[in-house]
């Protein structure tokens, strides 16, 4: 066989071997390696070209043309395979990164209202539904609204009972009185009545006032900050039976059952007569248990008929109008309804407790 035929044969077999290798390549990296091994400086084709030098000069252009054709054929095949592999790689990536947008999302832990806030809202809503207006007052109060206007004069022992937090170096606008953290929501009675009259209102006036209060006290049933709801109504001929009727309705609505109630005579400076209100024990249905200390009754709030001096302090004619009022501790009500033994649990914010109360899920 002539030298030139042998070279042609070599080129043909190189081409077919290369084309088979290209189509077997399954990654762009493999293909790049093949490109180098066939067309690179030290590649197979260069190797063949070395043989061309040994040919007689007249044969060289013939085989040179053949080598070029082979080179072009391989380069074209490499480019085509490369394009194919690039498309395949892209669709493989799309496939691997595919997300199912129709799947439901993963949700994180959900929060909810604090049990005390839930209690405040629940209690307030009962009165709103009965037609009472909601009023709020400041947590930083002056002595007039927290005490004097509520018929608690400066030297009255009831002031001492309130364990008041006074605010150091802070006095009211005209500098005559120290300021304090309100010890109860009863001052909202005074503020709401004054506001109502200033706006030209005439009784009837029925108000529910939820809010935060402060006393220097801390144990199983007391916290220095707690919440109260104050309720009152002023009109012509408001009587103790109105008070009792509202209490009966409200306490049954809150505890979601017919609760027995009793009014026990008591003393509050801002009401006359005054009564503490008990409900039949919600734990033993009045039979007597550890929680009601065997009595079958549990004290839930303080109440009474608004003292004439209180009405007078805001300029309401106590001869013409009368009113009832009561005030309750929100934490205590929530504890009784949910069977919570220690008031401090509300403020420690232990998620195990809060999630049982439906706060964190």
Binding residues for ligand DAH (CB under 6 A) = 184, 186, 230, 268, 271, 302-304, 325-327
Residue (85 or 208) nearer to ligand DAH, CB: 208
* Shortest Å, Cβ 286 to ligand DAH: 24
Residue (81 or 331) nearer to ligand DAH, CB: 331
* Shortest Å, Cβ 221 to ligand DAH: 13
**Are the C-beta atoms of residues 245 and 341 closer than 8 Å to each other?**
no
Task: Name the β-bridge partners of 13.
Answer: none
Distance between CA atoms of residues 263 and 59, nearest Å: 128
* Shortest Å, Cβ 276 to ligand DAH: 8
Distance between CA atoms of residues 95 and 234, nearest Å: 74
Residue (115 or 269) nearer to ligand DAH, CB: 269
- DSSP reduced 3-state for 32: helix
* Shortest Å, Cβ 184 to ligand DAH: 3
Count CA atoms within 13 Å of residue 339 on its CB side. Answer: 5
* Shortest Å, Cβ 159 to ligand DAH: 12
Count CA atoms within 13 Å of residue 206 on its CB side. Answer: 14
Residue (186 or 223) nearer to ligand DAH, CB: 186
Residue (38 or 127) nearer to ligand DAH, CB: 127
* Shortest Å, Cβ 215 to ligand DAH: 9
**Are the C-beta atoms of residues 318 and 221 closer than 8 Å to each other?**
no
Distance between CA atoms of residues 212 and 333, nearest Å: 15
Residue (17 or 217) nearer to ligand DAH, CB: 217
- DSSP reduced 3-state for 259: coil
Residue (22 or 132) nearer to ligand DAH, CB: 132
* Shortest Å, Cβ 119 to ligand DAH: 16
- DSSP reduced 3-state for 147: coil
- Closest Cα to residue 149, out of 271, 316, 319, 310? 310
Measured in degrees and rounded to the nearest 5, phi and psi for residue 107 equal -105, 150
């Amino acid at each position: 066989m002539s030298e030139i035929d042998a070279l042609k044969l070599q080129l043909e077999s190189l081409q077919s071997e290369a084309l088979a290798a290209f189509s077997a390549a399954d990654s762009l990296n493999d293909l790049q390696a093949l490109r180098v091994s066939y067309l690179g400086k030290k590649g197979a084709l260069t190797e063949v070209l070395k043989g061309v030098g040994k040919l007689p000069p007249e044969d060289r252009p013939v085989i040179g043309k053949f080598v070029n054709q082979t080179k072009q054929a391989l380069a074209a095949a490499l480019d085509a395979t490369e394009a194919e592999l690039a498309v395949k790689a892209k669709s493989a990536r799309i496939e691997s990164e595919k997300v199912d947008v129709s799947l439901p999302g993963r949700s994180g832990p959900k929060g909810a209202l604090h049990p005390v806030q839930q209690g405040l809202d629940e209690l307030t809503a009962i009165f709103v539904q009965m037609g009472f207006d909601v009023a709020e007052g400041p947590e930083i109060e002056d002595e007039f609204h927290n005490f004097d206007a509520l018929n608690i004069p400066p030297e009255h022992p009831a002031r001492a009972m309130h364990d008041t937090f006074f605010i150091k170096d802070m006095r009211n606008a005209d500098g005559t009185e120290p300021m304090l953290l309100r010890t109860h929501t009863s001052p909202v009675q005074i503020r709401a009545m004054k506001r109502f009259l200033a706006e030209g209102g005439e009784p009837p006036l029925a108000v529910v006032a939820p809010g935060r209060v402060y006393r220097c006290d801390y144990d199983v049933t007391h916290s220095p900050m707690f919440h109260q709801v104050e309720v009152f109504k002023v009109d012509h001929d408001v009587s103790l039976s109105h008070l009792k009727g509202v209490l009966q309705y409200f306490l049954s609505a809150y505890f979601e059952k017919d609760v027995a109630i009793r009014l026990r005579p008591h003393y509050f400076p801002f009401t006359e007569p005054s009564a503490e209100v008990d409900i039949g024990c919600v734990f033993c249905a009045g039979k007597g248990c550890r929680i009601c200390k065997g009595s079958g009754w549990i004290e839930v709030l303080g109440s009474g008929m608004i003292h004439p001096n209180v009405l007078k302090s805001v300029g309401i004619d106590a001869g013409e109008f009368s009113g009832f009022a009561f005030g309750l501790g929100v934490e205590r009500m929530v504890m009784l309804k949910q069977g919570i033994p220690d008031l401090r649990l509300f403020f420690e914010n232990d998620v195990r407790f809060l999630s049982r109360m439906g706060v964190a899920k």
